[in-house]
Structure 1
Amino acid sequence: MEILGSTFDDSVFEEARDKVCIPLPSYTAKVCEPEWFCERVTTEDELETQKVFKFRADLAYSRKEYQKSLDDYSTCLSLVPEGNLTIRRDILEGQARCYCYLGMRDQALEVIDKLRKEATNTCHLTCVLNLELTLHRHFGDLSKEVRILQQLVSLHPYNPWHWKSLAGDYLRLFRSHLAVSCSGVCLCGDGREQGGDREGAQTLPEGTAQNSRGGPEQLVEDGEHRSGLDLVQQDIAGIHRTREWISTAVQDQCKERERAWLQACMCFIRTRLLLRMLRVQQSSFVLQRNREALQEVEEALECLEPKEAMLQLITEAMGRDLVAERMREDSQDGESLAGLCISDFEERWYNSVESAVLQARSE
């Protein structure tokens, strides 16, 4: 049919056909009693049995019954097919957490290593790194905790919370170095070294004046073979070696303290830059959390007391890649690990900031 130059299908004007109503089968929802899975297993269905042990393990873990949870996770894992990688990862992670809270660190690391080998994309790898981070935090291994956070910020360079956690760890390192410096070896007013504690004397290098004497009896025995001049020269040489050793130790401690200070500053500044960029897109409790985090960052920087010129220098270095278009292009969520290259934290971040600081100081 053609009306006013427009063509219509004749079927449009036909009477509607009678629709045949097909009755739907009745559906009765299954009603489960609370903690139904804690009852005795009566089914022979492996999938149903697998669910039962998985639910039991999760419940025991929530109640902090870690040994019972570990046993149920192990039973469940034996029922999961090799090809069901999603459930396997979930159960293996539960096992690793149980091992962690049971104090079985080596077993937890073995499970984490297995999860790392089975990871196929960046989301899997992120979960493994977060799990390993939890393990090192539980056992108080700060150096390994820092190493894992470095990998996380390198994998997700625009995640402010990873940067904030890393900044907090560097701040702890700086304070620990500062505490050692305050309680360690210091110089007296006349230039003589004075140990901060008595234990430090036990770590002196061999051959020093303190370690060369074995008491009056040893001194008498030595006197039978050595002249008084030899003993005096030996004591003087031991004192010089002690002074050199103390001086080297103090210098190394100062370098480590300055390094931790700079790393803490750059991570806090990076966190502040990212939080400020995200603030315009946030609202409600998310925005409130952002504001609280920014306040914590400002307070930490006040404690670190970087000079204005240093603050500006680090801000420029840590904000060079913060461009909206580039941030979208560099998103790696869910990408395959094949060909993925995680840049080294030292090379990408610290070395560039350190060289810029050294250049500014030379000028």
Structure 2
Amino acid sequence: MEGAFCFEDSVFSETRDRRAERGPPYTAKRCEPRWFTEDENNDDFTDVPTTLKFRADLAYRQEEFEKALNEYNDCYLLIPPANNAMRRDVQESQARCLIRLGRYKEALEIADILRKGAGNTDHLTGTLNLQVTIHSHLGNLQESVSWLQQLISLHPFNPCFWISLAESYMSLFLATNVCRDISECSNTIHLCSDCLNGSVRTIDIVKNRDHKTIQGHCNEHFECPPSMKDCTHREQLWMWSCASFIRARLLLQFIQPQHASFVLENNLNTQDHIEKQLNRFGLVEGSKLLLAEVMGEDLLAERVTEEGHIDTKTTQTLSSFIMPTDPEFRVKWFHKINSILLAHG
């Protein structure tokens, strides 16, 4: 076996003292508060786009939206083409300034550019969120619902998106009290002046003695569907809203054991809010259990993380992802409920 293991003599030599090679101790650079508000021509400013973005972010937080937009515009012109992440971030910020300034058409143009340039699910999530915000400000409820359904298709375990969808469905349901036949409306429903940003404030309801009336949003009344045998689109909206609220509550219950302190408090408060909404909608306990069983069929505790997402990589390429259409989304989530309710009358 001689010669099988050969070592250099240096292996057995003493460890070299490296202390003499050490340089001066590292001292982190400290920035003064709001350092970015100083003159960017100063020698200390090596990254002008970042400086301008910080200024714009501060102006936006202070609700100086025109000033923020100008800063974002200047910043965008200086961002290197290769820095795609920062360019998208600033573009979305530009769009949100335009929303606050009431310039919705320009905001939609930016949102469309971002959507076409989305390269992964994170990009698409931000774009869809932006679309929801724009159409909510415009009062375009059906458009908001459509974008929310796409968001949920990307993130089916996110309770916040399900709550937003439930509230949007209910706003559409209440809006049809003004437009009795939803098929007579245009594809995009604009609420009356009594409805602000999709939040129903005051709506006159024509009471029908064959229908049960119960308390709803803002102490108003709306009609609870008496039966699903004559299930109109308006009554489907009511059922979809209830089902979405229950789905959100199930997700909150799954992640509740992982929460503590104020996060747990927020979780429980949200569950309580959902329960109050369901009671106002006149949903009986048996129906709640039925909806919970159907809307929770795909839930496994070990698959739901603290953020309400599946425990896999969060960012995925879009090449393998196919976005369902609105009808496909509703078939996936609500067709079974429709069938059960029709069977039970």
Q: TM-score range by the shorter chain?
A: 0.7 to 0.9
> What does residue 55 of structure 1 align with?
54
More helix by share: 1
> CA separation in 2, counterparts of 1:97 and 1:169?
21
Q: Which of 311, 315, 330 is the aligned partner of 1:346?
A: 330
Contact 2:72 2:94 in 1 (8 A): yes
Are residue 336 (structure 1) and residue 313 (structure 2) matched? no
Give the Cα–Cα distance (whole angstroms) in 2 for the partners of residues 148 and 287 of structure 1.
Answer: 29
Q: Which amino acid aligns with 1:287?
A: L
Q: CA deviation at 1:20?
A: 4.4
**Alignment correspondent of 1:316:** 293
Please state how far the C-alpha of 1:27 moved relative to its aligned partner.
5.7
Q: Matched residues in 1 for 2:69 and 2:244: separation?
A: 37
Q: Map of 1:24-173 to 2, 5 A cutoff?
A: 24-25=23-24, 30=29, 32-42=31-41, 48-173=47-172
* 1:241-280 equivalent positions in 2, closer than 5 A: 255-280=232-257
C-alpha separation in 2, matches of 1:298 and 1:69 = 40
Distance in 2 separating the partners of 1:354 and 1:165: 21
- TM-aligned CA deviation for residue 171 of structure 1: 2.4
Question: What is the one-letter code of the residue matched to 1:336?
Answer: T
CA distance in 2, matches of 1:170, 1:147: 10
TM, length-normalised to structure 2: 0.73
8 Å Cα contact 2:111-2:131 kept in structure 1 = yes
Displacement of 1:179 after TM fit?
6.4
Q: Does 1:294 align with 2:294?
A: no
Alignment-mate amino acid for residue 154 of structure 2? L
CA distance in 2, matches of 1:62, 1:187: 48
Residues 300, 263 of structure 1: CA spacing in aligned structure 2 closer, same or farther, 3 A cutoff?
A: same
**2: CA distance, partners of 1:96 / 1:273:** 34
Moved more, 47-56 or 327-336: 327-336
Alpha-carbon shift at residue 291 of structure 1 (Å): 0.7
Q: Alpha carbons of 1:295 and 1:329: their partners in 2 closer, same or farther (altered >3 Å)? A: closer
2:342 paired with 1:358 = yes
Q: Equivalent of 1:304, from 281, 290, 298? A: 281
Please list every run of 5 or more consecutive structure 1 residues that lacks an aligned counterpart in the other structure: 1-8, 189-252
- The RMSD of aligned alpha carbons is 3.3
Could you tell me whether the CA contact under 8 Å between 2:95 and 2:106 is conserved in 1?
yes
Q: How many angstroms apart in 1 are the aligned matches of 2:257 and 2:35?
A: 47
- Cα gap change, 1:279/1:39 in structure 2, threshold over 3 Å: closer, same or farther? closer
Whether the aligned pair in 2 keeps the contact of 1:156 and 1:332 (CA below 8 Å) is no
- Displacement after TM superposition at 1:339 (Å): 1.6
Cα shift readout 1:286-315 (whole Å, capped 9, x = no counterpart): 211111111111111111122344333322
Give CA deviations for 1:76-116 in whole Å, capped at 9, x if unaligned.
Answer: 11111211101101110111011111111010011111111
Question: How far apart are 1:10 and its partner, in Å?
Answer: 10
**Letter aligned with residue 59 of structure 2:** A
**Is the Cα contact below 8 Å between 1:279 and 1:287 reproduced in 2?**
yes
User: Higher mean Cα deviation, 66-75 or 342-351?
Assistant: 342-351
1:332/1:167 CA distance change after superposition, 3 Å = farther
Amino acid at match of 2:232: K
Alignment-mate amino acid for residue 346 of structure 1 = R
- Does the 8 A contact of 1:314 with 1:353 survive in 2? yes
* Residues 160 and 274, structure 1, Cα contact 8 Å, conserved in 2: yes
What are the ranges of 5 or more consecutive residues in structure 2 without an aligned counterpart?
1-7, 181-202, 210-229
Q: Residues of 2 paired with 1:146 and 1:289: CA distance? A: 25
> How far is the alpha carbon of 1:332 from its aligned partner?
6.0
Tell me, in whole angstroms, the C-alpha distance in 2 between the residues paired with 1:76 and 1:21.
45
Contact 2:162 2:244 in 1 (8 A): yes
Once residues 310 and 46 of structure 1 are traced to their aligned partners in structure 2, the CA distance between those partners, rounded to angstroms, is 62
Instruction: Give the 3 Å change call, closer, same or farther, for CA 337–12 of structure 1 in structure 2.
Output: same
Structure 1 pair 278–98 and aligned structure 2 pair: CA distance change class (3 A): same
Mapped to 2, the partners of 1:47 and 1:19 lie a distance apart of 34
Provide TM-score, normalisation by structure 1. Answer: 0.70
- Aligned pair count? 290
How big is the shift at 1:18? 3.9
Q: Tell me what 2:199 maps to.
A: none
